[in-house]
Structure 1
Amino acid sequence: MFLGIPKRALIIVAILAGVGLIYVMGTDKRPSEGATGGGSSGCRVTVTADVLNVRAAPDPRAEIVGKFNQNAETAAQVEVQNGFRKIADNKWAKTEYLKPVNGATC
């Protein structure tokens, strides 16, 4: 026992925390992986929604190809169509849930 907490409970909490951390880190990066030229424009954005869907096209009915959690930061492009900002090739996110980071040229 450590501080009155059974060893088994500490192990379970540590495993759950590790899995949660890996999940959060992975979902923040997944939509922007493989972005070609995304950062060359100097445009970086932060997600303001709890969870933001990344779509294959600038259309609310387009296939969801990734997700960002709130406060995730990613490179983006200056191109905006139909209320969506281009994140990378075939990756678009609703502009109303993206806030340019300080100093970004979006």
Structure 2
Amino acid sequence: MLIIIAVLAAIGIIYVMGASKRASEGATGGSSGCKVTVTADVLNVRAAPDVHSEIVGKFKQNAETGAEPVVQNGFRKLADSKWAATDFLKPVDGATCG
């Protein structure tokens, strides 16, 4: 009985950890019609438009995500408290990124 409970608890922990990882790496914001593709091998998503700001997520090359038309200090806003360097983001064909 204890083994079954331990296995179920482990599955629950793995599921929760996977959900938080998907939230940080998966598609974000972007209700504006702007969608971008990542051109870097790995792109850090930061809490503010500053290279010294906390890293709050990462995208792998060729990942697509929604974004906002807001650009500040060389960073594009992806969602609230999520910014990525514009040098490594390419608007998807037909996207309106401003």
TM-score tier by shorter-chain length is 0.7 to 0.9
> Which consecutive residues of structure 2, in runs of 5 or more, have no partner in the other structure?
1-17
TM-score normalised per structure 1: 0.67
1:56 matched to 2:50? The reply is no
Equivalent pairs, count: 78
Q: CA deviation at 1:39?
A: 2.8
Query: Which of structures 1 and 2 has the bigger CA Rg?
Result: 1
* Identity between Structure 1 and Structure 2 (%): 69
Matching of residues 1-106 of structure 1 within 5 Å: 30-32=24-26, 35=28, 38-106=29-97
Task: Please list every run of 5 or more consecutive structure 1 residues that lacks an aligned counterpart in the other structure.
Answer: 1-22
TM-score by length of 2: 0.72
How far 1:31 sits from its partner (Å)? 4.0
Shift of residue 32 of structure 1? 4.9
Question: Would the aligned equivalents of 1:59 and 1:82 in 2 still touch at CA under 8 Å?
Answer: yes
Q: Spell out, residue by residue over 1:43-100, the C-alpha distance to the aligned partner (whole angstroms, 9 max, x if none).
A: 0000000000000000000000000000000000000000000000000000000000
Residues 31/87 of structure 1: CA separation in 2 closer, same or farther (3 Å cut): farther
